[in-house]
Amino acid sequence: MLEILLATNNFGKVKEIKDILNSPKVKILTMKDFPNLPKVEEDGKNYQENAFKKASKISKYTGKICLADDSGLEIDYLKGEPGIYSSRWGTNDKERIKKVLKLLENVPKNRRKAKFVCAAVLIFPDGKIYKVKEECKGSITFNPKGEYGFGYDPIFLIPEYNKTFAELGDKIKNRISHRGKAMRGMVEIVKEISV
């Protein structure tokens, strides 16, 4: 059985990734299984660099296969912001959502296009590295809607469903989201490795 350590302290991400990577051939470990792990500074220039930093540092420290991702919301009107700083745009989800809606206060519907981006990196202790990058396009709503998900999900509208990620629920979100697509790419890589 392949043991993979998820290099994230974000419980929402852990749940999502576990649901997507669900396989009898894979045992998922979390950071809670390893007390006193070193803190990783996410100061890379892009998502891939941040994901690589997290996965490589935690893999070196634990000797485990490590999977990390970095993701963010890019809003066209804000020239791609918050981007790699998405999780640092406030101290909690409510604050971050409030900030985005404030910045887009008088912006019409047709100028609220956005996308979620996810870069995932899988690192083996022997140095093997696998990378996947995916995105999901949508737009920003005028008000938060829905109870599911986390982060910016309540204000990220998927046009095909005319619903936010937070209204869609895990099953549909995991099928169409940036992280869902990236993790399914990783599932294919894991399948090949664990055959």
In which region does residue 32 sit, left (phi positive, over 0), alpha (psi from -120 to 50) or beta (all else)?
alpha
| pLDDT value for 84 | 95
pLDDT digits (tens, 9 = 90+) for 85-142: 999 999 999 999 999 999 999 999 999 999 999 999 999 999 899 999 999 999 999 9
Residues designated as active site: 70
pLDDT band, very low/low/confident/very high, at 189 (cuts 50, 70, 90) = confident
pLDDT band, very low/low/confident/very high, at 190 (cuts 50, 70, 90) = confident
Whole-model pTM above 0.85? yes
* Burial call 30-41: b when 16+ CB within 10 Å, e when fewer: ebeeeeebeebe
| pLDDT value for 195 | 52
E runs forming strands in 95-188 = 113-123, 129-140, 156-158, 163-164
Q: Residue 182 belongs to what domain range?
A: 2-193
Domains: count for the chain: 1
pLDDT digits (tens, 9 = 90+) for 48-70: 999 999 999 999 999 999 999 99
CATH classification at residue 70: 3.90.950.10
Distances in whole angstroms, Cα of residue 107 to Cα of each of 17, 144, 155, 163: 34, 16, 14, 19
Q: What is the C-alpha to C-alpha distance for residues 68 and 87, in angstroms, rounded to an integer?
A: 15
Q: Looking at the predicted structure, is the pLDDT value of residue 192 above 60? A: yes
Beta strands 129-140 and 81-82 are unpaired
